[in-house]
């Protein structure tokens, strides 16, 4: 057991089992040994590679997406450009470079990066040190004073938000918890008392042993963001891997060094995530009074925004990188790669025009 596992085991011995949501929060965000606080998480030396690290075109298109949404809503001034979970700052760097072509937008927005990890914030500050924009960092979405329309980018942010899991037993739905065995090792166990909640009927009938996942934090964020956008204007786009309210299943996973790892074996040394339930997010946004666009496949979204045309121009300007550029577009947009697995959901005011990339929805 590593240091964080021993500390969690001691806490369980004193205070009782942890929910999976509480375990994820500690494993990812503990200030001393949490995954995002203690190591380089993204890139070749990290646990995973995200879309902005694959191609500069990804961030460029999303930056211009925000500018078009702003233009379609009558160019409100002032406005705010927000990124949730900016990673190494690559997406925002590419977005701001593309937005130099839209100075009327760039000059009116405050850029806010929502980052809980001081280590990642340091990487972002270094990456963005030369950009010509008003930059500000906050630890969480609620730290922003929501006094102007937000245009929000969130790529692979929701999958790391804490989830709770429930298992169907002969006693009903019992929450899946993290506790310790006789040797003091972290293990999963079921709460002895059934939970009181109703699974949406659209999920179907749960068989014995079925796992139901829910992310109250993600749903609360979507509802709050929808309420602000419905009231103030703005737009948001969430891009992540997930599903549209399928039945049941355990999607909690750990990744370390680009390979699958045991979820409980070494907390803080592996990235933890779960598939995003886009149907639940859409329902939360609708409750807020905002309009939902999608979800649609990432590949179709990027192609509608012009990824192929941009790749052609980029390859013409950099012929020695033409094969690399083509390969990166294939990886992002092809249905056999990230193009179908990743989904895109967007939020806008009810009266706003269809957002870019969603015109056919």
CB neighbours (10 Å) of residue 78? 10
CA gyration radius for the chain? Answer: 21
Nearest-CA neighbor of 153 among 225, 219, 217?
A: 225
Render 83-104 in DSSP notation, one character per residue.
EES-TTSHHHHHHHHHGGG-HH
Task: Mention every residue, 6+ apart, whose C-beta is less than 8 A from residue 259.
Answer: none
For position 167, what pLDDT does the model report?
Answer: 96
- pTM metric for this prediction: 0.92
pLDDT higher than threshold 80 for residue 282: yes
For residues 307 and 57, the answer to whether their CB atoms sit within 8 Å is yes
77-91, 179-193, 248-262: least confidently modelled range = 248-262
Q: In the predicted model, what is the mean pLDDT of residues 247-275?
A: 92
pLDDT higher than threshold 70 for residue 311: yes
66-70, 172-176, 242-246: least confidently modelled range = 242-246
For position 42, what pLDDT does the model report?
Answer: 57
Tokens of 182: 């006789």
pLDDT higher than threshold 90 for residue 134: no
Q: In the predicted model, what is the mean pLDDT of residues 47-75?
A: 93
For position 46, what pLDDT does the model report?
Answer: 52
* Residues 145-158 pLDDT 10s: 999 999 999 999 99
| Confidence band of 352 (pLDDT split at 50, 70, 90) | very high
For position 305, what pLDDT does the model report?
Answer: 97
Nearest-CA neighbor of 41 among 123, 110, 112?
A: 123
* Residues 27-57 pLDDT 10s: 999 998 999 876 555 544 555 589 999 999 9
Tokens of 7: 């500390």
For position 38, what pLDDT does the model report?
Answer: 60
Tokens of 39: 């190591």
Give strand ranges (E) for 160-202.
Answer: 164-169, 172-180, 186-190
Nearest-CA neighbor of 84 among 122, 36, 47, 116?
A: 116
Domains defined for the chain, CATH in brackets: 36-160+214-348 (3.40.50.12710)
What span, in angstroms and rounded, lies between the C-alpha atoms of 203 and 140? 32
- Mean of the per-residue pLDDT values for the chain? 93
Largest Cα span, the chain: 64
For position 45, what pLDDT does the model report?
Answer: 52
Q: In the predicted model, what is the mean pLDDT of residues 350-361?
A: 87
Enclosing H/E stretch for 296: strand 291-297
For residues 184 and 114, the answer to whether their CB atoms sit within 8 Å is no
Q: Is the peptide bond before 269 cis (omega within 30 degrees of 0)?
A: no
What span, in angstroms and rounded, lies between the C-alpha atoms of 175 and 166? 4
């Amino acid at each position: 057991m590593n240091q964080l596992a021993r500390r969690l085991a001691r806490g369980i011995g004193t205070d009782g089992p942890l929910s999976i949501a509480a375990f994820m929060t500690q494993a990812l965000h503990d200030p001393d040994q949490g995954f995002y606080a203690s190591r380089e998480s993204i890139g070749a030396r990290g646990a995973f590679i995200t879309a902005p690290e694959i191609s500069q075109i990804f961030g460029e298109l999303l930056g211009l997406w925000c500018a078009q949404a702003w233009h379609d809503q009558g160019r409100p001034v002032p406005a705010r450009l927000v990124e949730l979970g900016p990673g190494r700052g690559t997406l925002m760097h590419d977005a701001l470079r593309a937005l130099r072509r839209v100075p009327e937008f760039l000059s009116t927005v405050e850029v806010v990066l929502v980052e809980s990890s001081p280590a990642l914030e340091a990487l972002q500050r270094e990456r963005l040190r030369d950009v010509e924009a008003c930059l500000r960092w906050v630890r969480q979405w609620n730290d922003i004073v929501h006094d102007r329309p937000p245009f929000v980018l969130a790529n692979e942010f929701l999958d790391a938000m804490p989830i709770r899991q429930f298992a169907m037993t002969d006693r009903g739905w019992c929450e899946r918890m993290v506790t310790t065995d006789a040797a003091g090792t972290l293990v999963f166990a079921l709460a002895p008392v059934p939970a009181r909640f109703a699974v949406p009927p659209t999920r179907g009938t749960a068989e014995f042993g079925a796992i139901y996942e829910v992310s109250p934090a993600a749903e609360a964020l979507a509802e709050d963001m929808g309420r602000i956008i419905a009231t103030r204007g703005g737009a948001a786009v969430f891009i992540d891997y997930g599903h549209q309210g399928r039945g049941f299943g355990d999607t909690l996973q750990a990744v370390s060094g680009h390979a699958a790892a045991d979820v409980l074996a070494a907390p803080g040394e592996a990235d933890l995530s779960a598939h995003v339930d886009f149907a639940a997010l859409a329902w939360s946004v609708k409750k807020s009074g905002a309009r939902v666009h999608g979800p649609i496949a990432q590949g179709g979204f990027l192609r509608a925004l012009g990824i192929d045309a941009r790749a052609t121009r980029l390859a013409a300007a950099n012929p020695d990188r033409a094969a690399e550029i083509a390969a990166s577009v294939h990886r992002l947009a092809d249905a056999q790669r990230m193009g179908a697995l990743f989904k895109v959901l967007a939020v806008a005011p009810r009266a706003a025009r269809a957002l870019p990339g969603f015109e056919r929805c």
